[in-house]
Structure 1
């Protein structure tokens, strides 16, 4: 059954079938062909895969990020970030990274971060004389912070798939996200100096204070979310609902950017995004059921143990595997399928599941800005009006830096476990 399962899945991928449908069809084909499992189980398993209270956080965080995106918060974050880094060489590029870090703590989505920040800053960078490919590449790689810095939809999915504390995963994602942001800032600065990109005048204290005041309500959202979770006030799912209410109040009554028409558009886009994620989770859960019945997790465990019991070797192999997987598969599907298989192996080798969850999400986040299916690449290329292959070539040095960050996160557990 396993060979039929993976073979049919590969065929569907090659035919360009959407990943959620491909997972469902491959699972149905394997079940129908063997006849070992009643077909009714297909529907039951798909439903139970999303019948989870923690997963309710996904639509709420998606909607909260969408409300903040259309509520005028992007401009305020960019203004504040510009007062902090705009005076450096390549200041606008650095503003893109800093703003993406701020916005990531609101949206929980890589694509939303890339679109919201890139839509404003890519044209601004091009106007200032930045190379189009360089401008697009900054936004593409910065966008991956959206799934690392909490709140993060993939971290929620990992927590549900493995039974790991979502609150702990949120806390563990903070330092790795900051590390990646700082390394990108350094790289942008050196490239900008080498190419002679311009800088703005240094902001005065008053300008920085004004910028902070204009963005403070947005910056408070992650404080409220994480503070509420660790203060025992609400669960991560309840925190997501609070985030929606907060974003709605700020966008409608404070910034007054959300009109009924804008609200309906935000609700529609959030519903579409949620339906895609939930469909993937539902059918990936069915796919995972068949893998479990075939004993694939145990076989994978035995394979890695026989190959090497050294955690360092294991992490190197896993990093290589996940980078390749991330290039071809959507993040949530990859987590639902692989996390239940690989996490027990990691635990058996003494790796904390929270640490392993961050490693997995950071790995798969790289796939969001690498061909052939990197969603951030497509968004940035469209905004910058450049060919995908040229944008991918401009990403080489960024990718090198991200690999170094990944290795540091993998082999220095304190970067994820310091606050736990």
Structure 2
């Protein structure tokens, strides 16, 4: 009965459009008031202790680094670099947009931030080049989903904390899957552009121009190299890497690119703080929710239920993916990782899945939620930039949804793609 009250009240609050952090907290409180075995004091303590974690400190710093780099002209430099190499090919602008999103994903760690930073420049530029506005917006909002797949990734930090796995290993495990999805998106851009007659820029490759734009983008390109190289080389932890990222981003934006003024830092820090607080509140209330789940032994029950349906690991993984696709339509990615990792992780372990591989499957699946309504955060950001109606953009995203599913399928059935760099 406690479990029914917990989940019933949570979904009721969600239907009433109450913010997810509040919905989680209220559902936990109602369940605790009903059950004599659950102490409200325990839930209150959990709100504090769940965020008192060194690894979680990486989240606000990665967000702040992404905000600084996003305001510092990074996306424009990255696009110019990508355009030098692929702009002359069929669909070159669209391909360059995907590559730009991939690079920016390695800086921001956020899907919506990637769409906002890249889309503000690329969508108008693609339309000016003759691309259909719906296609231009759809490719940006989909490629922006790689913001949580290509490291550094905030959901990877949350999964690592929730499952007690190495965040550095998760970061390394996300590189090849992220690049693979990028290749799938680039392939679709090429074939679609060929069908629609979207030609390239017509400019021949210039070694001199390549050196020029490479010089302009060199400080931006160093960010993922320094962060991932430092973590995997044992120079610093992910949290320390995030702090270094903030210092580096501030130095580059202020003194090298000179596109951010000191007076703008108040607004940048405020925006980063708002995003960080939202995630940390979700972490706290989700911990209270998860405490009740654990006390009621719900993860064990769900694990047994999955295993009674089938002993075939492929069938179980398919069921988990379908569940996460549905969850991604209604629940924020960060909240979904915190809530469902304790529930689904035991199932993965009993199936003999590698915990890092399962984490990447989970995050790639939830990344599709960025482009699926009704939540679809990237859709709202993209529609706001392009001026498209939501129904029109959703229709434009449909082919990309299946491309993402194809990439997810390959990642799920070939664990070596995730584990090769570990």
Partner residue in 2 for 1:365: 367
Whole-Å separation in 2 of the counterparts to 1:141 and 1:134 = 11
Which segments of structure 1 move beyond 3 Å, counting only runs of 4 or more?
none
Partner residue in 2 for 1:253: 255
Residue 326 in structure 1 maps to residue 328 in structure 2: yes
Pick which of 123-132 and 269-278 moved more: 123-132
Q: Contact conserved, 2:300 with 2:346, CA < 8 A, in 1?
A: no
Partner residue in 2 for 1:223: 225
Partner residue in 1 for 2:31: 30
Partner residue in 1 for 2:209: 207
Whole-Å separation in 1 of the counterparts to 2:11 and 2:244 = 41
Whole-Å separation in 1 of the counterparts to 2:247 and 2:276 = 18
Whole-Å separation in 1 of the counterparts to 2:117 and 2:198 = 23
Give the drift of 1:88: 1.6
Aligned residues: 420
Partner of 1:89, secondary structure, is: coil
CA RMSD of aligned residues (A): 1.0
Whole-Å separation in 2 of the counterparts to 1:152 and 1:270 = 15
Whole-Å separation in 2 of the counterparts to 1:332 and 1:399 = 20
Partner of 1:173, secondary structure, is: helix
Partner residue in 1 for 2:312: 310
Pick which of 291-300 and 26-35 moved more: 26-35
Q: Contact conserved, 1:114 with 1:139, CA < 8 A, in 2?
A: yes
Partner residue in 1 for 2:79: 78
Whole-Å separation in 1 of the counterparts to 2:153 and 2:238 = 11
Q: 1:385 aligns with which of 384, 387, 409?
A: 387
Q: Contact conserved, 2:116 with 2:382, CA < 8 A, in 1?
A: yes
Whole-Å separation in 2 of the counterparts to 1:261 and 1:130 = 37
1:87-116 CA distances to partner (integer Å, 9 max, x unpaired)? 122221111100000101111111110000
1:345-398 CA distances to partner (integer Å, 9 max, x unpaired)? 111111000000000000000001111101100001111101111111111111
Residue 354 in structure 1 maps to residue 323 in structure 2: no
Whole-Å separation in 2 of the counterparts to 1:35 and 1:122 = 56
Partner residue in 2 for 1:101: 102
Partner residue in 1 for 2:51: 50
- After TM superposition, list the pairs within 5 Å mapping 1:18-417 onto structure 2: 18-200=19-201, 201-417=203-419
Give the drift of 1:34: 2.6
Give the drift of 1:33: 2.4
Q: Contact conserved, 1:228 with 1:239, CA < 8 A, in 2?
A: yes
Partner of 1:140, secondary structure, is: helix
Pick which of 408-417 and 252-261 moved more: 252-261
1:286-331 CA distances to partner (integer Å, 9 max, x unpaired)? 1111111111011011111211122111111111111111111001
Whole-Å separation in 2 of the counterparts to 1:289 and 1:37 = 9
Whole-Å separation in 2 of the counterparts to 1:203 and 1:330 = 43
Give the drift of 1:203: 3.0
Q: 1:202 to 1:419 in 2, by over 3 A?
A: same
Give the drift of 1:74: 1.4
1:114-149 CA distances to partner (integer Å, 9 max, x unpaired)? 000001000111122211111110110000111000
TM-score under structure 1 length normalisation:
0.98
1:186-207 CA distances to partner (integer Å, 9 max, x unpaired)? 1011111111123202331111
Whole-Å separation in 2 of the counterparts to 1:120 and 1:75 = 7
Whole-Å separation in 1 of the counterparts to 2:258 and 2:212 = 19
Whole-Å separation in 2 of the counterparts to 1:301 and 1:42 = 24
Q: Contact conserved, 1:128 with 1:198, CA < 8 A, in 2?
A: no
Q: Contact conserved, 2:38 with 2:292, CA < 8 A, in 1?
A: no
